[in-house]
Amino acid sequence: MSDELRELYQEVILEHGKNPRNFHASDAATKEARGNNPLCGDQLVVYLTLDDGGNVADASFLGKGCAISMASASMMTEILKGRSPNEAKSLFDTFHEMCTGEGEGIDLPEDVEKLRVLSGVREFPTRVKCATLPWHTMVAALNDEEEISTE
């Protein structure tokens, strides 16, 4: 990755970390789960509202943590809307591969290409847990699990 690209990615992460999208609780949520990454201190709750067809009508989160976990949650909640649970889970798999480096150079679908700004975490194994925590929590919510921990 070039230094220029790295800097650009960094900026996007910091911007999302400072102004996270969909940062609120949801009374209407039909699924929710709590995620905890003790290694870094990231904690969040992911709220999902599924519509009658079972697709994600709304996604939001609340929590505190490092810029990477907050930025990842912010981007994830933007991307999930309108997707089926299976699509959401398959996106998690793709994202996880990208973050762990197994999918280096992985092709992301165009509408989720922005997740690539988080791909730099693959160089920092402890940061992978920060980036993937919101996604683990989202999958836990879909599976009706109340709580997950990266430990």
Residue 109 three-state SS: coil
Instruction: For the segment 70-129, give every residue that binds Zn ion (CB under 5 A).
Output: none
> In this structure, are residues 138 and 46 in contact, taking their beta carbons and an 8 Å threshold?
yes
**Which of 66, 139 has the CB closer to Zn ion?**
66
- Selected from 44, 48, 75, 130, the binder of Zn ion by CB under 5 A is 130
Sheet bearing 31-37, strands edge to edge: 56-64, 42-50, 31-37, 147-149
Rounded distance, CA 29 to CA 46, Å?
9
- Selected from 12, 40, 62, 108, the binder of Zn ion by CB under 5 A is 40
Q: At what angle do helices 85-100 and 125-142 cross, to 10 degrees?
A: 170
Looking at the DSSP assignment, which residues form a beta bridge with residue 63? Answer: 44
Task: Confirm or reject binding of residue 42 to Zn ion (CB under 5 A).
Answer: yes
The minimum distance between CB 39 and Zn ion, in angstroms, equals: 8
Q: Which stretch binds Zn ion (CB under 5 A): 28-36, 61-69, 82-90, 94-102?
A: 61-69
Rounded distance, CA 65 to CA 62, Å?
10
Rounded distance, CA 17 to CA 70, Å?
5
Q: Which stretch binds Zn ion (CB under 5 A): 23-31, 37-45, 48-56, 71-79?
A: 37-45
Q: Which stretch binds Zn ion (CB under 5 A): 7-15, 22-30, 62-70, 83-91?
A: 62-70
The minimum distance between CB 65 and Zn ion, in angstroms, equals: 5
The minimum distance between CB 6 and Zn ion, in angstroms, equals: 18
The minimum distance between CB 53 and Zn ion, in angstroms, equals: 34
Tokens, residue 98: 């990208």
Residues that bind Zn ion (CB under 5 A): 40, 42, 66, 69, 130
